[in-house]
């Protein structure tokens, strides 16, 4: 069982740590929308597009998945798409913070979007059903500080090891780490001011 651990949303002010840390995943393609802003109106249509990076090796492979991440919940897949574009009608609960994540058919990443919030569309505007997030099947707790190069201890209850955790930082590829016991220590190596899901 692959366990997704989206523990909480954290804002941190840390620097990159030593090169002995787990590397960030290989990002083959980039995605975004226009206007690329951190506040999105509920019910609006967002045209998401993506293209391979010039240095992609190998090239990305369709179909592509677009997922929404929200701290403490399972990701929601909003699209599986063969082309390099998708028109997304925003049907998320108001608030946030949220982040979009993309991957290709071979699990290579397109990285993440900026962190965004969903705002009210205004009086009289209605749209379809709002996406509902499912809670994690694991109980996950963390302890420690978000100080520069410090360790956060992540403890899981439930599920079957090995556990996989992905760190999703603002506008970059995720970092994937796996461990076989119920407790794991993770060294924070996010740029100053970066927000992340982990």
Q: What percent of the chain has pLDDT over 70?
A: 83
Please give the structure tokens belonging to residue 172.
């970059």
Please check the confidence at residue 16 and state whether its pLDDT lies above 80: no
Residue with tokens 């506040």: 39
Burial class (CB in 10 A: 0-12, 13-18, 19+), 102: buried
Distance from the Cα of residue 3 to its chain's centroid:
14
pLDDT at res. 83: 92
Distance from the Cα of residue 92 to its chain's centroid:
15
Complete domains list, the chain, with CATH: 9-22+134-197 (no CATH), 29-119 (2.60.40.2840)
pLDDT at res. 72: 82
Q: What is the pLDDT of residues 122-149, one digit of tens each?
A: 887 777 778 888 888 888 887 876 666 7
| pTM for the model | 0.79
Please check the confidence at residue 49 and state whether its pLDDT lies above 90: yes
CB < 8 Å & 24+ apart, contacts of 139-144? 140/5, 140/7, 141/7, 142/7, 142/8, 142/198
* CA–CA distance, 134 with 156 (Å, rounded to integer): 17
* CA–CA distance, 195 with 171 (Å, rounded to integer): 10
* CA–CA distance, 16 with 146 (Å, rounded to integer): 13
């Amino acid at each position: 069982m692959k366990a997704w651990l989206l523990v909480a949303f954290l804002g941190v002010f840390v620097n990159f740590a030593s090169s002995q840390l787990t590397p960030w995943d290989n990002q083959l393609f980039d995605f975004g929308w226009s206007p690329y802003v951190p506040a999105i109106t509920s019910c609006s249509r967002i045209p998401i597009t993506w293209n391979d990076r010039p240095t992609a090796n190998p090239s990305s492979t369709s179909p592509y998945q677009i997922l929404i991440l929200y701290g403490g919940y399972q990701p929601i897949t909003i699209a599986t798409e063969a082309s390099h574009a998708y028109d997304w009608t925003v049907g998320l609960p108001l608030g946030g913070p949220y982040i979009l994540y993309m991957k290709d058919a071979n699990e290579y990443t397109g990285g993440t979007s900026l962190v965004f919030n969903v705002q009210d569309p205004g009086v009289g505007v209605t749209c379809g059903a709002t996406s509902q997030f499912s809670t994690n099947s694991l109980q996950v707790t963390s302890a420690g500080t978000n100080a520069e190069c410090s360790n956060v201890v992540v403890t899981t209850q439930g599920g079957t090891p090995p556990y996989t955790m992905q760190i999703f930082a603002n506008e970059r590829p995720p970092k994937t780490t796996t461990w076989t016991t119920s407790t794991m220590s993770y060294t924070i190596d996010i740029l100053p001011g970066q927000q992340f899901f982990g």
